[in-house]
Amino acid sequence: MAGIFEKRFFRLQEIFKTLFWVLTSTLLLQGCAAQSHLVDAEQETIIKEKFNYYLYYPKDYEASAEQKYPLLLFLHGGGESGDSLSAVKRIGPPKLIANGRNFPFLVLAPQNPYKNKWWNTRAIVQLLDTVIAHNNVDKNRIYLTGLSRGGGAAWELAVQYPEKFAAMAVVCGMTPLPYASWINKKLAIWVFHGEDDQSIPISESGNMVARLKEMGYNVQFTRYPNVGHDAWVKAYNTAALYEWFIKQELK
């Protein structure tokens, strides 16, 4: 009889050990599942962008291989985005050039390939730097202008690359007010907006201009009464704008 009880005792002991192991393992697994984990990782990303663009050269560009010329980067609005480069000539400086206007600086006019996406500003700067490297460009006289969606991109470029541009003209663009603190105070800025703009309210420009002036920035603001979103028609036909550009230089 003692042997039977002894066997049963050892059998129960084995069962309890098994149950204890199962229960402990389950609780540990549940505890691990309930915990969050921070994992150190690294991945290098490569984003490629394909731009079609126009590049305008001044009439006397070929006459002197030593002379350095200013360059104006023009960013169009949403209506000119896509895969038809000729759309870029419907507006702004490219339109003026197509109609026979001459400028004393190079004009770089890329096309945003996406109808419903913002400009890829990092890719734009790569394109700009490539054009500068392969042409006679004065790096202290790089000018920036954009309208509507391109105006928003111009503000963004001024924030991300504060030492790159000598002057910027924004037409009916929009931007977050905190950007004001990050823009180079040496940057000359001229803002244009239609007072009846229903797409991007004039307050987008007005509030930013007010903030910049409070902070001592060199900024001009031109408001167009009875003008809607197409303030670019008047703005880019303003001869004084290009005279103003050519006077600006990074110090």
First to last CA, the chain: 105
Classify 53-247 by CATH class. alpha beta
The pTM (predicted TM-score) of the whole model is 0.83
Instruction: Check: CB of residue 200 under 8 Å from CB of residue 182.
Output: no
Residue 32 clears pLDDT 60, i.e. is over it: no
Provide, rounded to the nearest whole percent, the portion of the chain with pLDDT above 70: 86
3-state secondary structure of 110: strand
- Digit-coded pLDDT (tens) for 158-213: 999 999 999 999 999 999 999 999 999 999 999 999 999 999 999 999 999 999 99
**What is the average per-residue pLDDT within 127-135?**
97
CA dihedral (83, 46, 126, 188) positive or negative? positive
What are the C-alpha distances in Å from 90 to residues 35, 123, 128? 58, 23, 22
Instruction: Check: CB of residue 55 under 8 Å from CB of residue 106.
Output: yes
3-state secondary structure of 181: helix
Pairing type for strands 53-56 and 106-110 reads antiparallel
Residue 6 clears pLDDT 90, i.e. is over it: no
- The pLDDT assigned to 10 comes to 47
Task: Give the largest CA-CA distance in the chain.
Answer: 119
- The pLDDT assigned to 37 comes to 82
